[in-house]
Amino acid sequence: MKRFVRSFGEMTKKDIQEAGGKAANLGELTQNGFNVPPGFCITSDALFYLIDKNSLQPKIDSLVAAFDYEDFGGMDEKTAEIRNLITNADIPEDLYSEIKTLTEEFEKPEPSFVAVRSSVAVKDSPISSFPGMMDTYHYLKGEEEIVAHIRRCWASLWTTRAVVSRYHKKVDHSLGLIAPVVQKMVHPEVAGVLFTANPITSSREEIVIEANWGLGESVVSGKSMNDFFVIQKSPLEVKETRISKKTIMICFDEEKGSGRKEMAVGPEMMDAPTLSDDQILGLGKVGLKIEELFEYPQDIEWAYAKEELFILQSRAIKTLAE
């Protein structure tokens, strides 16, 4: 019987405390027939189990008690110590066995690349995301590499930026939950974000899309100039199109054979639109269905690979004026 690992098909949006916001919503999307790349999450209990089995809690508590939030250098040193405790700890055999079993699914019929992403929540709280606080690792392959990045994902609960964010939000560090997500990679020609309400004007009658070539990481991180589209919801039609000069993209690192890299956009693609009108409206239709499912305007990450639309994440938009 599985204790610590659950596939997307075994989760719903109600499982935030166990799976974190990202994984719980991916489970809900999967169960409702949206095209989500397959994957699983290591539930939030797993890190507590690892810490307990390795008797790390007293050491972590001692470092946390010595935090001086005005001393940035000291904070970096202490949070790095906590991360090292986690990344170097022995993974209990029963937990490792569960991770290994589901990781082996990505080996069939041939080895597939995966992404490892953080899914977070706060214990006994409605908080289910800390946007921009956690890292995502792309194009990983094989048990050893995947497990190493699951460790890094657990440890990212204790990056300086995550710790300081919890401090400013008055969230006790002991209440932070993290459930790493392991998900099959898609190889997108174009990707980005979709908001089912306009995050700039707070209009709920509009859908806003930003898109760039390659992985959506360039859009999410704010590194790139992106194409910008506005869709009117009723009737569903493209209302505004702004094509930017796109200069950088993030894609598979072919030289290393794994991971991602930032590269220049080719001259022939710089001024070319990333999406056709059919793709824009296709995104709009899916966005409306996702908004209906979650009963609130959504911030959605998506990717088109060989003209097939994949949904990579969905969460409530936090910035709307009510």
pLDDT digits (tens, 9 = 90+) for 158-201: 999 999 989 998 999 999 999 999 999 999 999 999 999 999 99
Q: Is the pLDDT of residue 1 over 70?
A: no
* Residue 179 near residue 205 (C-beta atoms within 8 A): no
Least confident window among 5-9, 15-19, 128-132, 263-267: 128-132
Q: Is the pLDDT of residue 130 over 80?
A: no
Q: Is the pLDDT of residue 95 over 90?
A: yes
Q: Do 154 and 27 reside in the same domain of the chain?
A: yes
Number of domains in the chain: 2
**Does a structural domain hold residue 166?**
yes
Using DSSP bridges, classify how beta strands 136-140 and 181-184 pair: parallel, antiparallel or unpaired: unpaired
Q: Is 116 exposed, middle or buried (0-12, 13-18, 19+ CB in 10 A)?
A: buried
* Residue 23 near residue 121 (C-beta atoms within 8 A): no
Q: Is the pLDDT of residue 322 over 80?
A: no
Q: What is the pLDDT of residue 221?
A: 86
Q: Is the pLDDT of residue 206 over 70?
A: yes
Q: Do 140 and 206 reside in the same domain of the chain?
A: no
* Residue 77 near residue 120 (C-beta atoms within 8 A): no
Q: Do 23 and 40 reside in the same domain of the chain?
A: yes
Q: Is the pLDDT of residue 128 over 60?
A: no
**Does a structural domain hold residue 88?**
yes
Of 184, 211, 242, the residue that ends a domain is: 184
pTM of the predicted model, to two decimals?
Answer: 0.92
Q: Do 259 and 294 reside in the same domain of the chain?
A: yes
Q: What is the pLDDT of residue 272?
A: 97
Q: Do 159 and 267 reside in the same domain of the chain?
A: no
**Does a structural domain hold residue 132?**
yes
Q: Is the pLDDT of residue 141 over 70?
A: yes
Q: Do 225 and 261 reside in the same domain of the chain?
A: yes
Q: Do 149 and 224 reside in the same domain of the chain?
A: no
Average pLDDT of span 110-132: 79
Q: What is the pLDDT of residue 116?
A: 96
- DSSP letter for 317, please: -
Of 125, 156, 184, the residue that ends a domain is: 184
Q: What is the pLDDT of residue 258?
A: 85
Q: Is the pLDDT of residue 315 over 70?
A: yes
* Residue 62 near residue 85 (C-beta atoms within 8 A): no
| Token representation of residue 156 | 């990212």
Q: Do 266 and 173 reside in the same domain of the chain?
A: no
- Provide the percentage of residues in the chain whose pLDDT is more than 90: 81
Q: Do 86 and 230 reside in the same domain of the chain?
A: no
Measured CA distances, 274 to 32, 212, 214, 250, 262 (Å): 28, 6, 10, 14, 18
Structural domain harbouring 53: 5-184
Q: Is 96 exposed, middle or buried (0-12, 13-18, 19+ CB in 10 A)?
A: middle
Q: Do 257 and 180 reside in the same domain of the chain?
A: no
Residue found under tokens 């055999």: 93
Q: Calculate helix-pair angle for 143-155, 93-103, nearest 10 degrees.
A: 120
Least confident window among 39-53, 115-129, 199-213: 115-129
Of 184, 205, 233, the residue that ends a domain is: 184
Q: Is the pLDDT of residue 134 over 70?
A: no
Average pLDDT of span 230-258: 93
Q: What is the pLDDT of residue 223?
A: 87
* Residue 291 near residue 196 (C-beta atoms within 8 A): yes
d(CA 249, CA 236): 29
Q: What is the pLDDT of residue 106?
A: 86
Q: Do 31 and 166 reside in the same domain of the chain?
A: yes
Nearest to 127 by CA among 58, 175, 194: 175
Q: Report the sign of the C-alpha dihedral through residues 217, 221, 227, 233, in that order.
A: positive
Q: Give the count of beta carbons closer than 10 Å to the beta carbon of residue 39.
A: 24
**Does a structural domain hold residue 321?**
no
d(CA 308, CA 291): 20
Least confident window among 1-5, 44-48, 294-298: 1-5
- The residue ranges of DSSP E strands in 87-236, in sequence order, are 114-117, 120-122, 136-140, 176-178, 181-184, 190-195, 206-213, 227-232
> Could you tell me the CATH number of the domain that includes residue 195?
3.30.470.20
d(CA 43, CA 45): 6
* Cα within 13 Å of Cα(120), Cβ side: 23
- Provide the percentage of residues in the chain whose pLDDT is more than 70: 96
Nearest to 241 by CA among 254, 255, 252, 230: 230
pLDDT band at residue 109 using 50, 70 and 90 as cut-offs: confident
Q: Do 236 and 110 reside in the same domain of the chain?
A: no
Mean pLDDT of the chain: 92
Residue 81 CA, distance from chain mean position = 25
Three-state SS annotation for 186-203: CCCCEEEEEECCCCCCCC
**Does a structural domain hold residue 322?**
no
* Residue 128 near residue 189 (C-beta atoms within 8 A): no
Average pLDDT of span 83-106: 94
